[in-house]
């Protein structure tokens, strides 16, 4: 059964199926762009910084690189699996990310040089990804997949907690950027605080989706993405601070910030382990 032949007018359960070619094409093109952009920001920051769409500090350069490389991990898994599950999860996360980034970019248009060609490319790519993700979010949202099941109680409880915590924090960065962004290890301006809200809202809504019902492979994919994000952020910030030595390690709040990212990585590993156990049980 293909998705193109699956009726979306009802809520009857459908089996997992291959993703449509337009979605595959979008994921492939986005993955190639993320590979180039994420790798340059993270591994070659001195090369990427002067060429970026807006002005970047060393910490923000590698943090953005960590975000884009994490996005690359998610889309790469979609390209490898090529099925509606976990596409519904990846599509939701893509939609949240692109929508928030596009919204913040429009609200903070003064951060961009409108005369530069890269600015037009930035808005064009995010608009296209947002529109495509919106369509497939609607499409998958109207389907019920037979593979979905309720996760063990402790994992549902944790995912609900993560969804609530990351959701509140992400909304705080978006709505109260100066106050909430103040607690970062390096100074954040309003623009970057609001941009970074996207990644936390992605984690919140992804966790909320799986807390309701999830396929085993979705839990594994979410765990891989979370582990990758934790690893990229921690290593990226460490590399920058080793060079510039700007983070005050005497502040307890900075250790809490890093500890939160370590916890994300640990729980990501836990999700991968739990998904393997569930597969063995079935």
Does the residue 155 lie in any domain?
yes
Does the residue 2 lie in any domain?
no
pLDDT at 8: 40
* Containing structural domain, residue 88: 11-281
Question: The pTM is what?
Answer: 0.92
pLDDT at 146: 83
Does the residue 67 lie in any domain?
yes
pLDDT at 128: 95
d(CA 179, CA 197): 13
19-41 per-position pLDDT tens digit: 999 999 999 999 999 999 999 99
Does the residue 152 lie in any domain?
yes
Does the residue 121 lie in any domain?
yes
pLDDT at 13: 64
Does the residue 265 lie in any domain?
yes
42-98 per-position pLDDT tens digit: 999 999 999 999 999 999 999 999 999 999 999 999 999 999 999 999 999 999 999
pLDDT at 15: 66
pLDDT at 14: 65
How many structural domains is the chain composed of?
1
Residues of the chain scoring pLDDT < 50: 1-10
Does the residue 259 lie in any domain?
yes
Does the residue 4 lie in any domain?
no
């Amino acid at each position: 059964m293909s998705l193109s032949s699956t009726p979306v007018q009802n809520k009857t359960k459908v089996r997992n199926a291959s993703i449509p070619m337009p979605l595959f094409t979008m994921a492939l093109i986005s993955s190639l762009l993320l590979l180039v952009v994420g790798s340059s920001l993270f591994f070659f920051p001195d090369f990427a910084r002067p060429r970026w769409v807006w002005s970047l500090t060393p910490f923000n350069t590698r943090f953005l690189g960590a975000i884009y490389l994490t996005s690359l991990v998610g889309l790469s898994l979609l390209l490898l699996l090529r099925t509606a599950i976990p596409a519904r999860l990846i599509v939701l996360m893509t939609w949240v990310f692109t929508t928030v980034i596009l919204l913040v970019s429009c609200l903070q248009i003064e951060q961009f040089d409108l005369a530069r060609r890269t600015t037009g490319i930035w808005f064009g790519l995010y608009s296209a990804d947002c529109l495509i993700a919106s369509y497939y979010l609607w499409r998958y949202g109207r389907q019920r997949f037979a593979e979905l099941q309720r996760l063990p109680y402790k994992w549902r409880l944790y995912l609900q907690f993560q969804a609530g915590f990351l959701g509140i924090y992400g909304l705080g960065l978006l709505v109260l950027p100066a106050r909430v962004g103040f607690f970062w290890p390096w100074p954040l301006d309003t623009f970057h605080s609001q941009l970074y809200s996207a990644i936390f809202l992605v984690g919140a809504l992804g966790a909320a989706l799986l807390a309701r019902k999830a396929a085993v492979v979705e839990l594994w994919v979410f765990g891989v993405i979370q582990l990758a994000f934790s690893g990229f952020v921690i290593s990226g910030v460490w590399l920058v601070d080793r060079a510039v030595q700007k983070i005050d390690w005497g502040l307890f709040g900075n250790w809490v910030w890093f500890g939160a990212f370590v916890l994300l990585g640990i729980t990501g590993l836990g999700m991968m382990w739990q998904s393997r156990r569930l597969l063995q049980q079935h």
